[in-house]
Structure 1
Amino acid sequence: MHNILLVKSSLNGEQGNSTVLANEFLEVVKTKSSVKVTERDLGDNKLGHLASAEMSSWMIPENERTQEQKELASISDQLIVQLQASDTLVVAMPMYNFGVPSTFKAWVDRIARAGITFKYTDQGPVGLLEGKKVIVIAARGGLYAGTPKDSQTQYLKDLFAFIGITDVEFIYAEGLNMPVKEDNLVKAREVMISMAEKISA
């Protein structure tokens, strides 16, 4: 059984372009192989921005934490366990004001933890989540891929490499607020089918 973790962060919920395309992608994958899909919807705003008290709770040995510290540490712990259990991470990624959604950054700040998903060595940080794959379905109102205004692609590659995941591929659905929307959606869906076949191979 192939385990897929779907991470969504659209402010528009199930109607968001990135979510719609990610759901379509997973439906194609399900027709080609046996998979178990777990969803994490960051758009529900249940995951607040990381604060000092929560981060500090990670530094305290588990048997020395107060009840409050245990509860704070468990937020990150649960997100990391969910990520560790996945074989493939599918990221439904909208672009907001030339960047990733702040809710996605809140998730990142909790899954990038020293000693658990990466470690520091004499040669620098080394990621600990090797052997996984990431597929980013990037939905954008304008045309940014391959230009200096695409702040997401390199950031996401660097982020996942930092925790040990170097197999990162992108499916771009761009110009969704432009007249080229329908043509570009067709192209994105063609890439989605090809990518689904690669996962299932």
Structure 2
Amino acid sequence: MEKPLKILQVESSARKTDSVTRRLSQDLIGRLAANRPVNVVRRDVSPGLPVIDEAWVAANFTDPAERNGEQKARLALSDELVAELKEADILVIGAPVYNFGIPASLKAWVDLIARARETFRYTQSGPEGLLKGKKAYVVLASGGTEVGSQIDFASGYLRHILGFVGIDDVEMIAADRLMASADTAIAMAEAALDDMEERFKAAA
């Protein structure tokens, strides 16, 4: 029996209904699941995650063998998020563009998973990502921001931070400028998903 793909689905849209990123992310996962078995772990960060503070930073930079109970508790959620990411074969991030960037809740997730010695390490030649061999799909939606333009500070940031932790195989699916032409934007995103599905079938 074929081994199931482990998918981590990270959603960040403030909308629980009528969310374009949630719908397209689910569509993408459905297409993956149609071609081979999958196990999906869903992490909805939209209710908000704790922001890192001085105590968190101190705990993170303390040697794991020397952390006290309070420091371990400070890092417990981060440890859980990192473990989810390490376990995944495929990462699917739903990222609406808010005020030209990613939602604050998604930035908080990034801060909690970008950890030295866990997801990256420092070397003599610079930082090295430790999460190699994974595939990431980033599903973006915006009201007025053109994805890939000079005022888009979401897609480039996510591509960079994923590469920083070692995930270099990143594919973007964008439904942008929805306020100008929602039907066209969604149709283009769905066409991109159709193309992906053909590749999924060819690789199955």
Indicate the TM-score class for this superposition, using the shorter chain for normalisation.
over 0.9
| Equivalent residue number for residue 89 of structure 1 | 91
**Is 1:189 the equivalent of 2:190?**
yes
Superposed displacement of residue 28, structure 1 = 2.1
Q: Give 1:67's match in structure 2, choosing from 61, 66, 69.
A: 69
Superposed displacement of residue 52, structure 1 = 1.4
* Separation (CA, whole Å) in 2 of partners of 1:3 and 1:168: 16
Deviation per residue, 1:142-194 (Å, 9 max, x gap): 2412321111222111111111111111011012122x211221121111122
Deviation per residue, 1:36-80 (Å, 9 max, x gap): 1111100022x1211111121122234433322211111111111
TM-score (norm 1): 0.93
SS at match of 2:178: coil
Give unmatched runs, 5+ long, in structure 1: none
| Equivalent residue number for residue 131 of structure 2 | 129
Inter-CA distance 126–195: structure 2 relative to 1 (3 Å threshold): same
How well do the aligned residues superpose, as a CA RMSD in angstroms?
A: 1.5
Give unmatched runs, 5+ long, in structure 2: none
| Equivalent residue number for residue 108 of structure 1 | 110
Equivalent residues of 2:97, 2:145 under 8 A apart: no
Residue 56 of structure 1 aligns with an amino acid whose one-letter code is: A
* Separation (CA, whole Å) in 1 of partners of 2:190 and 2:47: 26
SS at match of 1:13: coil
| Equivalent residue number for residue 16 of structure 2 | 13
Equivalent residues of 1:29, 1:197 under 8 A apart: no
| Equivalent residue number for residue 24 of structure 1 | 27
TM-score (norm 2): 0.91
Equivalent residues of 2:100, 2:145 under 8 A apart: no
Give the percent of matched residue pairs that are identical in Structure 1 and Structure 2.
Answer: 36
SS at match of 2:79: helix
